[in-house]
Amino acid sequence: MRGLKDKVALVTGGASGIGAATARRLHEEGALVAISDINIRGAQQIAEEIGDRATAFAYDAMDEQSIVDMVGSTTAHFGRLDILHNNAGALGSDDTTVADTPLEAWDHAMKLNVRAYFVCSKVAIPFMISAGGGVIVNTASSSALGGQLAQTAYGTSKAGIVALTQYIATQYGRQNIRVNSISPGIILTPALLDVAPNLVEVMGPSLLTSYLGTPEDIASTVAFLASDDARYITGQNLCVDGGLFAHAPYVSF
């Protein structure tokens, strides 16, 4: 893909799953990659696998100063920041219906997702502007696009990410910053299989593809949106969901 060679990319939640796959793909496209995660050993393992064009930083998405330090460390190490992939997040096992979800679970989802993405972007944008522009790609979710019987806080927080994406794109587009979000559908990550092992069985029959999504499917989309090939795309939410939301709910297979 055009325009990724020697660009500096910061991937949050990069120790496993979508983040790790994205770090690998951006490296394959020629980028230098900072991999950040609360699981620093996992992030270091991915960086070691990639080689000397990658580095790892520990950070806590729930802590503002940790985010500031992560972005600062990335720019200090590589000299600039061109691409931010806001990806860290998690499903909560106690995040169920509106009546039954504890307020603590609601607050945790909002802080981990919407607030952390906001802070990462807030800190990164001035560095991008000083470098002449940049790209932000936010990981949202298909849970943001329609109600479900559980995961109320998670889905609502991911919907907030879609809205945040549009606001940043609107406010900073004329300063050469593009921002898009991706709404993955069922993606076979360790986190999904650990927290919601029955989700594949329940939702799998609604897919229009003959296979389930992998982290690499999202990574390739991130790489495209970060590249010059997507230079006219901003403020959009791209569903990468195997056609999950493409058909009427009464269609059966």
- Can you say how many angstroms the Cα of residue 109 is from the centroid of all Cα atoms in its chain? 14
59 in catalytic set: no
Closest CA to 121 of 166, 155, 184: 166
Written in H, E and C, the secondary structure of the chain is CCCCCCCEEEEECCCCHHHHHHHHHHHHCCCEEEEEECCHHHHHHHHHHHCCCEEEEECCCCCHHHHHHHHHHHHHHHCCCCEEEECCCCCCCCCCCCCCCCHHHHHHHHHHHHHHHHHHHHHHHHHHHHCCCEEEEEECCHHHCCCCCCCHHHHHHHHHHHHHHHHHHHHHHHHCEEEEEEEECCECCHHHHHHCCCHHHHHHHHCCCCCCECHHHHHHHHHHHHCHHHCCCCCCEEEECCCCCCCCCCCCC
Tokens of 40: 């620093």
Alpha-carbon span 179 to 220, nearest angstrom: 16
The catalytically annotated residue of 117, 154, 211, 250 is: 154
Q: Which residues are known to be catalytic?
A: 154
